[in-house]
Chain A
């Protein structure tokens, strides 16, 4: 799986947008970009994923550059409860699934996002 690079930490004021960058310059055509977050003492939580188009759901927006070498996760109105470690993951995807390790997630160090009042 392609590697990702994220800043180790970021701060954001409550109510403002949090923009978390991720570099994945070696991503291949059959790899998706996934974002998970992990709040202290909890398991990781799925946020969003995308292939090449921008995506939005009730939690966040994902902006992927045209060359797919980087992406940005946007939390439009950050709250104190969004304080967590955010992981950008590149995940191999094969249509129809597959029987081996295609599903596993390879986590890096992530970005510690601190939302302050």
Chain B
């Protein structure tokens, strides 16, 4: 069956540009998570949705980061005025509900030049 998909897989942005990263979760999965993974590190939590409600955004590093999931399925992570330190792999995960195992997408590798 279809897993979690993310697009684009690779994104190169010039410093100061805005980017939008898309996540298509597994159909029927209520919970959706975003993580950021710097080179050589484990993923770090950014934000969590239950359906369309963003219930935890404590991991977002600055107000330049914004996530939405308006219809409770597809989610978009937006980064405004990108900086070099935003270069990382951005991972999306979905689960049936908050306490179930999470299924991860392949990630979007963002490089800010």
Contact = CB atoms under 8 A, between A and B. Distances in A.
The 3 closest A-B pairs by CB, nearest first: A43-B104, A107-B42, A103-B98
A13 interface: no
Interface stretch (A20-28, A60-68, A69-77, A92-100): A92-100
A100 B55 contact: yes
Interface of A: 34, 41-46, 49, 85, 87, 93-94, 97-110
A51 to B, nearest CB: 12
Nearest to A93: B99
B56 A101 contact: yes
B87 interface: no
Interface bracket on B: 20 to 34
15 contacts: A43-B93, A43-B107, A44-B104, A46-B103, A100-B55, A101-B48, A102-B99, A103-B95, A104-B33, A104-B56, A105-B93, A105-B102, A106-B45, A107-B42, A109-B41
Contact of A44 (B31, B43, B95, B99): B43
Nearest to B100: A103
B97 interface: yes
Contact of B45 (A87, A99, A100, A104): A104
Contact of A101 (B43, B58, B104, B105): B58
Interface of B: 4, 31, 33, 35, 41-45, 48, 50, 55-56, 58-59, 91, 93, 95, 97-99, 101-107
A97 B4 CA distance: 22
Given A34-B101, A97-B98, 13 more contacts: A44-B91, A94-B99, A97-B97, A99-B55, A102-B98, A103-B31, A103-B98, A103-B102, A104-B33, A104-B59, A105-B33, A109-B41, A109-B42
